[in-house]
Amino acid sequence: MMKLIKANDYNDLSRKAANILSAQVILKPRSVLGLATGSSPIGVYKQLIEWYQKNDIDFSEVTTVNLDEYVGLAPENPQSYRYFMNHHFFNHINIDKTKTHVPNGIADDLEKECEAYNHLLDEVDGIDMQLLGIGLNGHIGFNEPDGEFEKLTHVVNLNASTIEANKRFFEKIEDVPKSAISMGIKSIMQAKHIVLIVSGQEKYDILKQSLFGPVTPHVPGSILQLHSHLTVIYSCDREL
Ligand code: F6R
């Protein structure tokens, strides 16, 4: 089932998505949440923090697994996704940090790290709700357009377009890491409920292609059409 929800603007989108995540945690306090970084979810995290401060949500039993991390960036590096998650979310709520997971981008053996992350995903026994953004080239997590879908956690070379899109978070483009560790398509698709948030007119075409075009690894987000419980919240000027 695909549910499309049109939001009025970024703020509305953030509140709607936060409402859904919040309901998930209220209904199942021991939820496993799959989380994303980037611009899209910042408003969602901000809203959840506000509700936490009002005593409306309790994160003490929640486990989180993040989609991805840059290779070569340590957790204390402000550009790393671990830092992002602490800064934008975890530092402000009552989550047990040992239950928050982001791939380790500075692992000596990256292949081993991928295996360990897959093992972790097995151990937590499935993601209850996965919050997802989508890249301009259709990537989800850092599953870049390719000839086939990568099933499990893997090291990926980032596309020139992704490096270009992400340079806004760095001082200069040379500072953007060229590779990342990303959860695979199978792990994402095994989440019980996927909440995709998409904001901005520039994402309209890729969103439309992902949801209504052919399912192909050249548009990784297109696989979401096959998910049994997908909620898409989008704020673009046009209806889909
Ligand atoms: C981030 C991630 C990426 C982003 C995507 C959109 O953890 O996995 O797939 O969701 O690049 O990024 P924003 O939201 O910055 O447009």
- The model carries a pTM of 0.98
The number of the ligand 1 atom at minimal distance from the alpha carbon of 141 is 8
What whole-number distance in Å separates Cα of residue 117 and Cα of residue 67?
10
Q: How many CA atoms lie within 13 A of 74 on its CB side?
A: 2
Give me the count of residues in the chain.
240
pLDDT in tens, 174-191: 999 999 999 999 999 999
* Structure-token match 């003490």, residue found: 60
Give yes or no: 139 in active site.
yes
Instruction: Indicate the pLDDT class of residue 237, thresholds 50, 70 and 90.
Output: confident
Percent of the chain with pLDDT over 70: 100
Q: Whose CA is nearest to atom 9 of ligand 1?
A: 141
A 10 A CB-CB count for 154 gives: 20
- Which of 104, 113, 139, 193 is labelled catalytic? 139
* CA dihedral of residues 138, 143, 149, 153 (deg, nearest 10): -160
- Beta bridge partners of residue 6, listed in sequence order: 234
Neighbours of 43 (CB within 10 A): 21
Can you tell me the distance from the alpha carbon of 200 to that of 198, in angstroms, rounded to the nearest whole number? 7
Active site residue 94: no
Among candidate residues 69, 113, 128, 144, the one labeled active-site is 144
Q: What is the mean pLDDT of the chain?
A: 97
Whether 172 contacts 105, CB under 8 Å:
no
Q: Is 144 a catalytic residue?
A: yes
* Annotated catalytic residue 137: yes
For residue 41, how far is its CA from the centre of ligand 1 (angstroms)?
9
The string of pLDDT tens digits covering residues 5-58 is 999 999 999 999 999 999 999 999 999 999 999 999 999 999 999 999 999 999
Instruction: Provide the 3-class DSSP secondary structure of residue 189.
Output: helix
- Predicted confidence (pLDDT) per residue in 101-153, tens digit: 999 999 999 999 999 999 999 999 899 999 999 999 999 999 999 999 999 99
What tokens were used for 148?
């086939």
Q: What is the CB < 6 Å shell around ligand 1? A: 36-40, 67-68, 133-135, 139-142
